[in-house]
Structure formats: structure tokens, C-alpha cells
Amino acid sequence: MNPHILPSSQPVSGQAPVLELKAVSRYWGKRAAINNLNLTIKPGETVALIGPSGGGKSTLIRLLAGVLKPTQGRVLVAGKDLAKMSAAELRYHRAHSRIIEQTHLLVPQLSVHQNVVAGKLPLWPWHKVMASALWPVEKKPVHALLESLSIGEHQWRPASDLSGGQMQRVAIARALISAPTTLLADEPTASLDPATARAVTEIILNQAKERGVTLVFCTHWLDAIMHRCDRIIGLREGTLVLDAKPSEVTQDALNLLYQGSEELHEGNNERI
């Protein structure tokens, strides 16, 4: 697929689509990770996705990204069912709906630059992919992006030389380099210490805001994102039990969401 020609069913590059789940279930064996879920995420929304472990959050993120298919129901992007998209349209959607994982998934022996450029490979023709393996490409755009994440000086260092927080910033840069319309952050600070986790959370929130992209941020640190999000969605056992503006979320609602879970409060009202 020529990266400069968009499939006709896709929005113009840079314009976030509406994401919809209609009566979606996703089973792993006989267990429903997502159970009859109806959900609409509007363009440009910042959504905090919360709930106890095993509630279906990661599965939901992968359904939205198009890397998982629903067992039942439909996932719609800009009104079109992912199941009915052509291979080119599906590749386009996946390339512009980027997941920031719990772990950075960098190739440690490669440079920071090479790891970031890897985020563009799905959009490139084969000859540019081959060229990128032989000599540095996109040097200025990568440097500008790394500078915006305060790690510009590390562009040519091996990824293995970086700290955990720096590696996660490189992973964020790899997700952003393809100019995504949707960012899906799956507990991207889970392996970081509290101070670094908050810093990385702010980076993701700021980058999403500046770029006008839709952000679904799965986190156990609700207090770090609550004042910056438009909406809070809570999943429990694959079922939607909370969908409200931050100002409407009560402690009773959180208690119900986390009932019986050791993750509730953990003693300080900060980590949920």
C-alpha cells in the first residue's frame, strides 16, 4: 500500500475517528474477557480506563487497536466494521492506533533512533524499510520528537544504555512517530517507580493533548490522570460498570468497581 494514498473509508490523516463497540464479547476459552460491551469513544477524548486486574482492560485495548477480533459483536472505526475492512484498510488502522505497552519492548542492541524509526515501518514501502536498515533515515523528525520528550541527546546511544524511564520515553516516541490518531496506553508505567511513573504519565497526556489524538489510558494510578481526562471507564469481569465524567465519579462507585480486590486503595487513596 502506498503510504501517501489513504483508503477511501479512512479519515484524513491526523483526524481521529469515532471508535465504537456494539454488543462485543471476547472469549478466551469459555471465559469472557469482554462481555456484551457497548461503548463509543469520541474523537480527541482522553479516557481513563480502570478496574481490577483481569477485568478485560488489555483485551479492550487490543480490540480497539484491531489486533484482536471479537468473538461476538462489531468493532467500528469511523463507522466501518473492522471485520469488513480490506487488508490495506486494516493495516492503516493498526498503524494509526498505537499501543504503548507495560514494557517498552525495545531492541536493546539497536540505537534509540533505530527503535523509534521502527514505528514507521508499517507505513513504508519495502524499499524504504530496506534503506532504513542500511543507513539512518528520518534523522531530523526523530530528533525533534526525542527533544520533545527530553531525551534528544540519546538519539544515537544503544537503547540498553538507558534507564527504565528513558526507555519508556523511547517507546512513546516510537508510537508517536507514525502520527497516530489514537493512542492506547496499556498501563505504560506499571514497571516504573512512582516518581518516574507520574512523569511518564504527564508526558503521554501532554503529547496526546498537543497532537489532538484520542487517548485511552489504562492505569491503576487514577489520581495521576483524573484531573486531565474527559471520561472514566471502569471494567469489572469484562462488564462496563462505570462510565462517567471525573466530577461524577464517587467513592461508592469506585468501591463497587473494586469490591473484593486487593488493588483498592492499597492503604493510601492514591494507587487504585
Over residues 135-193, the pLDDT tens digits come to 777 789 899 999 988 899 999 999 999 998 899 899 999 999 888 999 999 998 887 88
How crowded is residue 29: how many other Cβ atoms within 10 Å of its Cβ?
6
Q: Scanning the structure block, which residue is given the C-alpha cell 468497581?
A: 257
pLDDT over 60 (residue 12): no
- pLDDT band at residue 103, thresholds of 50, 70 and 90? confident
CA separation for the pair 256, 236 (Å, rounded): 9
- How much is the average pLDDT of 14-30? 89
Choose among 154, 114, 167, 160: nearest CA to 138: 114
The residue ranges of every structural domain in the chain are 15-96+180-272, 107-179
Q: What is the distance between the alpha carbons of residues 1 and 121, in angstroms, rounded to a whole number? A: 12
Q: pLDDT at residue 6 above 60?
A: no
Q: What mean pLDDT is reported for the chain? A: 86
227-257 as b/e, with b when 16 or more CB fall inside 10 Å?
ebbebbbbbbebebebbeeeeebeeeebeeb
What is the reported pLDDT for 196? 86
Taking alpha carbons only, the member of 23, 41, 40, 45 closest to residue 32 is 23
Cβ atoms within 10 Å, residue 108: 12
- CA–CA separation, 122 and 202 (whole Å): 27
Domain 15-96+180-272 class, CATH top level: alpha beta
> Is the pTM for the entire model greater than 0.95?
no
> What per-residue confidence (pLDDT) applies to 263?
66
**Which of these, 49, 55, 22, lies nearest to 36 by C-alpha position?**
22
Q: Considering Cα of 19, then 210, then 101, then 177, what sign does the dihedral take?
A: positive
Cα separation, 172 vs 131, in Å, equals 23
Phi, psi of 187 (to 5 degrees): 50, 55
Least Cα distance to 51 among 253, 269, 267 occurs for 253
Strands 72-77 and 214-218: unpaired
Q: Hey, what's the cell of 9?
A: 473509508
Mean pLDDT lowest for which of 20-29, 41-50, 138-147? 138-147
Nearest to 233 by CA among 221, 225, 245, 223: 245
